[in-house]
């Protein structure tokens, strides 16, 4: 990932985890249909943990949540948020690099909420596919006030070429969203 001016700085993290945002983008309602108890999940570009804690509530103590961000300051905000709670045992903080997630665990679900447009590198989707379990899913949500329909549709084309299959395009306020899974048939053909 190349660092860009599009990355929300730690100093503005409060806008990412505000009461106002919760009123228009309820994290529980957004992720609950896609995450189950006991799963291993990733909050990619977790920021201050707006979705991280909700994911931890759902996966409970039989699951794991990997909070992944390139900014150490954001990870520190997540650490402070879960300090002394039961979630400290199931939330794992992981600092990614701009050009590589440096992540080797397999996960059942990846949430990439308002983050893909901040990542400026060609191999992101291949890297995400490599850490997703064969029956796993990824929910990508991009801000419709920042990402045009053309850019969004181009992203969908790249995702399909990288071995993902669209399952659903959920409606999320102020957003363009897509739920995908690995296209295992396509991946098997490519292995032959």
pLDDT in tens, the chain (192 residues): 334 446 766 666 556 676 777 778 899 999 999 999 999 999 999 989 999 999 999 999 999 999 999 999 999 999 999 999 999 999 999 999 988 999 999 999 999 999 998 887 788 999 999 999 999 999 999 999 888 999 999 999 999 999 999 999 999 999 999 999 999 776 555 544
Q: How many C-beta neighbours within 10 Å does residue 9 have?
A: 10
Segments of 80-189 assigned E as strands: 91-95, 107-113, 132-143, 164-168, 175-182
pLDDT, position 6 = 63
Q: Are 57 and 39 in contact (CB under 8 A)?
A: no
d(CA 133, CA 108): 6
Domain range annotation of the chain = 10-191
pLDDT at 12: 64
Give the DSSP H or E segment for 56. helix 52-59
Tokens (6 digits) for 176: 């363009």
Predicted confidence at residue 188, as pLDDT, reads: 52
Q: Which CATH number fits domain 10-191: 3.40.640.10, 3.40.50.150, 3.40.50.2300, 3.40.50.720?
A: 3.40.50.150
In the 8-state DSSP scheme, what is residue 126? H
Please give the pLDDT value at position 25: 87
């Amino acid at each position: 990932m190349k660092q860009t001016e599009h990355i929300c700085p730690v100093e503005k993290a409060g806008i990412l985890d505000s009461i106002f945002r919760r009123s228009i983008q309820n994290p529980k309602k957004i992720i609950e249909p896609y995450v189950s108890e006991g799963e291993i999940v990733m909050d990619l570009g977790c920021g201050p943990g707006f979705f991280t804690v909700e994911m931890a509530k759902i996966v409970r103590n039989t699951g794991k949540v990997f909070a992944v961000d390139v900014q150490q300051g954001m990870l520190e905000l997540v650490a402070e948020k879960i300090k002394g709670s039961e979630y400290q045992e199931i939330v794992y903080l992981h600092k990614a690099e701009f050009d590589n997630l440096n992540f080797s665990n397999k996960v059942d679900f990846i949430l990439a909420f308002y983050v893909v447009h901040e990542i400026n590198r060609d191999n992101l989707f291949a890297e995400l596919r490599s850490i997703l379990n064969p029956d796993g899913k990824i929910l990508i949500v991009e801000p419709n006030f920042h990402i045009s329909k053309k850019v969004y549709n181009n992203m969908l084309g790249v995702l399909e070429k990288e071995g993902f299959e669209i399952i659903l395009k959920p409606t999320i306020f102020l957003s363009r969203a897509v739920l995908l899974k690995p296209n295992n048939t396509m991946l098997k053909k490519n292995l032959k």
